[in-house]
Structure formats: C-alpha cells, structure tokens
Structure 1
Amino acid sequence: MDEEEQVAAALAAERESLANDCRADAPRFARLLAPDFHEFGTSGRELDYGTALRVGAEMASEGEPIEVRNMRGRLVADGVVLVKYTSERAGRRSHRTSLWRRGDGGQWQIFHHQGTPAAN
C-alpha cells in the first residue's frame, strides 16, 4: 500500500469506529481495537481494551451520533497512521488523535487514542 492508501484506510476505520451501529456491535467494534489499546479520554479517564468496548456500547445505546469535523491523517511509519479531528457529541467538543496500525492480515486497528476538551 502506498502512503495515500494507508491514510485513506485508517481514516475509513476511524469513521467506522465512531458510528453507533459499529459500537453497538461488539464483535465489529472489537476488530477495530488492538488488544493493547489505550485511551486517555476527554473525561480524564484512562481506558483499556475491555473498558473501551463497554463504554463504546454504552455511548451507542444513548443514540446520539458523534459529529466529526476536519478529519485528516498522516503516515508516521509504514503501517502506522496518525488521525486527527474535532468531535462533538451532546454539546461537548473535543480535539482527538488516534494511532492506527495495520496488522499482518491487513486489518487496521487503533492502538492509542486521546481526547482533549475543546474551548467552545
């Protein structure tokens, strides 16, 4: 895969991971999270793989979609893409970064995410 294809694949995976229908489908959402997943959430909490699956399902059940603005990506190494964007949900805006890596089978998985509250 060239640089443009890798970035496009990671951006598509990020968008999928944010969709309520994905988060509500535990096996589908789990495929997008690396086993060593780690997150510093906007709430200030640290989340691991299991906690992220649970929180994602809870958010999906609330029904409010995550709105995304200015999503972009950059290849930082072959098979590793940094994704940046601003999200809004329930009136809260956050700046977000994610690190995605391509596994041996070609599947993209997020292994680190950070959310920072944005000034309104």
Structure 2
Amino acid sequence: MELKEHIRQLEEKLLTAEVRASRTELKKILADEFFEFGSSGRVLYKNDEMESGIGIIKAKLSDFDIHPLSDNIVLATYRTFNERTNQHALRSSIWKQVEGDWKMVFHQGTKTGPSI
C-alpha cells in the first residue's frame, strides 16, 4: 500500500468513535510521546489525559496530503468538517515509523471557515 493512503487510513481511523473511545486502540496508533494542540485550545498528552479516550466527533476528512520530513517521518495535512458542531478545521500530524509501525507523534487542529 502506498504510504500516503496508509497514513490517510490511520487518520480516518482516529476519527472513528470506536478508536476515540478506546485507550487500547489509541495506544496502537499514538506514539508514547504523543501530544496535541487541539482545535478546542487544549493541549493533550497521551499518557496524562486520554485514560477514557478522546472526545467523540463526527468528521469528514478532505484535502489530504503528506510531506516527507525524513525516511521515517512524515507530516500529514488535511481539512476536517465536524458534522456535529458544523466546524471546519485545518489539521496537521507528524507520523513516525517505530519498529515497522507508523505512530502519530504530534497533532494540531486549527479552526477555520469553509474552503473556497
């Protein structure tokens, strides 16, 4: 599978209620050192604040792309539309290959208006 499609699938998986509500599933995808600057303005850390999962959203992903930073690190960029809140966001994630698996190290969401 092409790397871009694989990372997109991981990003889409992180939007599902099943993964967002499961500490076990989150641990499979998020690196131990993971942290996030959320579109809510909160800073989240994997080991501190995700014991019961992360908030459930209903979002669609668009304009997805990846930007290689090294052989085993990529930056993913995309837009989301949260159908529950009618909120658009620009998103970026840093993914790192760890022992053969791609893990998210960092994520940022920034609220925005609809794309033109």
Answer yes or no: same fold by TM over 0.5. Answer: yes
2:86 is the alignment partner of 1:91: yes
Identical-pair percentage: 25
Q: 1:118 to 1:99 in 2, by over 3 A?
A: same
2:70 is the alignment partner of 1:73: no
Q: 1:55 to 1:117 in 2, by over 3 A?
A: farther
Give the corresponding residue for 2:97.
Answer: 102
Count how many residue pairs are aligned between Structure 1 and Structure 2.
Answer: 111
Match of 2:109 among 88, 95, 115: 115
Q: Any conservation in 2 of the 1:96–1:114 contact (CA below 8 Å)? A: yes
Q: 1:53 to 1:41 in 2, by over 3 A?
A: farther
Structure 1: 4+ residue segments shifted above 4 A? none
Match of 1:25 among 22, 25, 37: 22
Q: 1:103 to 1:55 in 2, by over 3 A?
A: same
RCO higher in structure (CA 8 A, sep ≥6): 1
Shift of 1:29: 1.7
| Aligned mates of 2:23, 2:53 — CA distance in 1 | 11
| Aligned mates of 1:98, 1:53 — CA distance in 2 | 21
Q: Secondary structure of the residue that 1:88 maps to in structure 2?
A: strand
Q: Aligned Cα RMSD in Å?
A: 1.8
Q: More helix per residue: 1 or 2?
A: 1
